[in-house]
Amino acid sequence: MSLTCTPLHPVLGAQAHGIDLTQPLSAQQVSAINAAMNQYAVLVFRGQALTASQQIHWMSHFGEIDIGLKRVFKRPERLGDERLIDISNVNAQGQVDRRDSPKNLSNFANQLWHSDSSFMKPRAAYSLLHCLITPSWGGNTEFADLRHAYDTLDKRTRRDAEGLQAEHYALHTRLLLGDEAYTDEQKKALAPVVWPLVDTHPGSGRKLLFVGAHARQIIGWPTAESRMFLQDLLEHATQHDHVYAHEWQPGDTVIWDNRSTLHRGRRYDISERREMRRTTINDDEHAHLT
C-alpha cells in the first residue's frame, strides 16, 4: 500500500495510513513521508506496536539519531540504547518516580512550548514519539505550526521580526522551573546558540517564526523588551485554534518536524505510570529529508 493522509486539524497534522512501521522503508516511502511532513508537519500512525529496535531502525531512514541532552547529563538509563529518549515518569529501577525527581523535572519542562534541541547546532529535524502506557487522564501532546504563525502575523509585527536573531539556551526552561543544580562544566557544555527569528523551512520553502521556550534573548535588544516580544510571538503562535492536540492511545506513533513546529506535553497525574519512547534525528548533512 502507498501512504495516504487524512487531515486532523485545519492548520496542521494528519493521520497516516498505508505504511507498516515495523518494516523497512523503500526510497519511495521515505520520499512520500517527507512530502507529507512538509505539508502537514505532524503525522499520526495509529495502532502499531513498535519494539525499541524497530523504532530506532525506522527513524534511521531519515538521518542520524540525536541523543540530545544525554551528551551532557549522564544518568542511569532503563531503556539500554542511548538513542532512545525515555519520555516517562519511571525511574531506572522500573518504578514510578518521586514527584521531585530529575526525570519529573524534565517532564515539567516538556510542558512548555518548545522545539526539540533548538539549543544545539545542528538542531533537531524530525522527532518520533511512540506510546506504550497512558495515565487515566491528561498527558496529551499539543502541536503548533510555526509557518502558520508567520503567515498570520500582522504586518507591523512581521516587519519588526524580520532580520532579528534569538539566542536559544538549554537551561533557560530549567532555570524558569527553579532547577539550578548545574555545574560550571555542564553550563559550558550547553553554551547558547543563535537562530534567525524569521527562518525558512527547507522542506516546504515557507517562512516561519522560530520561537519557543528555549529562546531567551533577541540579540542586540534589552533583556526585558526582548523577552516580552518573544512572549508575544509565542502567544501568537500557540493560539488555541491554531493547535492540534493529540490524545494518546497505546500503540500510537507520532512524528513531527521540529524545524516548523512547537509542541508541549500536558498535565497528568504523575503518580500514575506514563511511558513513551522518543527518537530524534539531527538536521544536518546526514539527514534524508527530501
DSSP string, 51-76: -HHHHHHHHHTTSPEE-GGGGT----
Question: Average pLDDT for consecutive 10-residue bins of the chain (290 residues)?
Answer: 94 97 94 97 96 96 86 73 92 92 86 94 95 97 98 97 96 79 76 96 97 96 97 98 97 98 97 96 85
Longest dimension (CA), the chain: 55
**Domain extent listing, the chain:** 4-282
The per-residue pLDDT for 174 is: 80
Side chain identity at residue 32, one-letter code: A
pTM to 2 decimal places: 0.95
| HEC profile of 82-106 | CCCEEEECECCCCCECCCCCHHHHH
What's the topology of domain 4-282?
Double-stranded beta-helix (3.60.130)
Task: State how far the alpha carbon of 249 is from the alpha carbons of 37, 118, 257, 270, 279, in Å.
Answer: 21, 28, 21, 17, 18
The per-residue pLDDT for 76 is: 67
Instruction: Count other C-beta atoms under 10 Å from residue 254's C-beta.
Output: 24
Q: For residue 176, which of 141, 212, 149 has the smallest C-alpha distance?
A: 212
The per-residue pLDDT for 239 is: 97
3-state helix, strand, coil in the chain (%, to 5): 25, 25, 45
187 backbone dihedrals φ, ψ, rounded to 5°:
-65, -40
